Amino acid sequence: MARLHAGGTVVSDALPSGRPVPGPAARPPQEAGNAGDAAAAGAPEVFTPQERARGRALARAQWIPVLTARAVSTALLAVLGLTPAGARIVDAASAPFGDARPVRVLCGGLALLLLLDLARLPFAARLHVVRRDAGLDTRGWGGWSADLLRGLALSLPLALGALLGLHALLAAAPDTWWAWAAAAAALGVTAVSWLAPLLLEPVFNRFTPMEPGPLRDALLGLAAADGVRVREVLVADASRRTTALNAYVSGFGATRRIVVYDTLLATAPPREVELVVAHELGHVRHRDVARGTALAALGAAAGVCALAAALRPGPLLSAAGADGLADPRSTALLLLAVAVGGALAGPFGRAAGRRAEARADRHALGLTGDAAGFVAMQRRLSVANVSDVDPPRLLHLLFGTHPSAVRRIAAAMRGDSRPCCPPARARGGGAPAAGTAGGGAGDAGAGDGR
């Protein structure tokens, strides 16, 4: 699920900002195909050699800028955080504005974050070219730049606010700051997860009500049959950014809505749209966003505790040119620690996401009883999204956000539609769902949660 771990927010490795960026964001692409995995999965051969080759080629082409951007940003953070270079940048950026600690934190943090964004910018631009050449990205440079700036306008205040809050706690409670910071991190993750569908999604998309008709009635009827109360069905103007296909369910309680990409409506038959939505309803029924948010909140709290243990006064802080963790000159070292912790925790979160996706697939099959339609839907989304349908096992374990397409199709053909939960009455509460039915190959540029 592209957005499971943060309820509509994903972490971008490909955009210049690697911090959480709601809306158009990136996930690492699945790499080249693996025929052994396909055979082991027992999948029928529903993809032509040309379709497999195209997805494999795009995955490889995307990996180059994605991994290079990650390597460059990590190396730059290591230089800034493990030498006095980062401390010098903090001092230079804040010098014109005074010596107050909040000023030094904000100015120094902004300078470091923008430097990292600039280092990633050429690779994000290259990724845009790769995806545009593949026919997936419909934006020109103006639209791409506008989305980039929107992401920065959202992510920079969040990151700077977190830095400012951390330093305030360090100053106010030098002995117990870590406990307060852990609680604040968990609450912050939860707040972003629940508020993103209402406040952040409209920044990147325009939504219009779906016209009354058989498809709208069918989608609302599907939700009612599944015990999920939905307020409305909306159409997102995704075609201004991408040709990829998707639908999702977002919001919670009285704000929950089904959102369908206009690209999906334009290319898929109504039954396949219903199957995508049935998968998304599975995420609601199983409270996958609530589960993912809880996991992310616990991870954030644990990360703060690990940060406190790792960055006690000692050689690391001395190497960074900081007198202590409360010194604003430690900011680069803090950013390095967060980046390393995120990289180490990422595979575990993605593994949980793959399990949730498989469960939502089973839910969709049980709800609709249409294995043939499910296979057709998976094929359509995989081909339209230029997915690598059978990525190498190691890369899939490290970076895969969904089960591979061949395994999902094989499960459907085996009749893997075990009921995952009992029938329920329509509910008005619960967590938002923001999973994706057609994932399996990464989307490293347009941010289309498939």
DSSP for 266-294? HHS-HHHHHHHHHHHHHHHHTTHHHHHHH
The rounded distance, in Å, linking the Cα atoms of 163 and 334 is: 9
H or E element, residue 397: helix 393-399
Q: Three-class SS of residue 185?
A: helix
Which pLDDT score, from 0 to 100, does residue 48 have?
93
CA 377 to chain centre: 22
Which pLDDT score, from 0 to 100, does residue 44 have?
56
* Ordered DSSP codes for 61-119: HHHHHHHHHHHHHHHHHHHHHSSTHHHHHHHHHHGGG-S-HHHHHHHHHHHHHHHHHHH
- Quote the pTM value: 0.82
All residues at 6 or more sequence positions from 298 whose CB lies less than 8 Å from its CB, including other chains: 186
Whole-number CA gyration radius for the chain = 22
Q: Three-class SS of residue 312?
A: coil
Structure letter (DSSP) for residue 427:
B
Write out the chain's pLDDT in tens, 450 residues: 333 333 333 333 333 333 333 333 333 344 333 444 444 444 558 899 999 999 999 999 999 999 999 999 999 999 999 999 999 999 999 999 999 999 999 999 999 999 999 999 999 999 999 999 999 999 999 999 999 999 999 999 999 999 999 999 998 898 899 999 999 999 999 999 888 887 888 999 999 999 999 999 999 999 999 999 999 999 999 999 999 999 999 988 888 999 999 999 999 999 999 999 999 999 999 999 899 999 999 999 999 999 898 888 789 999 999 998 999 999 999 999 999 999 999 999 999 999 999 999 999 999 999 999 999 999 999 999 999 999 988 889 999 999 999 999 999 998 765 544 444 444 333 333 334 455 443 333 333 334
The rounded distance, in Å, linking the Cα atoms of 397 and 401 is: 9
By DSSP bridging, strand 207-209 and strand 247-250 are unpaired
If you search the block for the tokens 């959102």, which residue do you land on?
259
The rounded distance, in Å, linking the Cα atoms of 196 and 296 is: 15
For residue 147, give the nearest of 315, 312, 22 by alpha carbon: 22
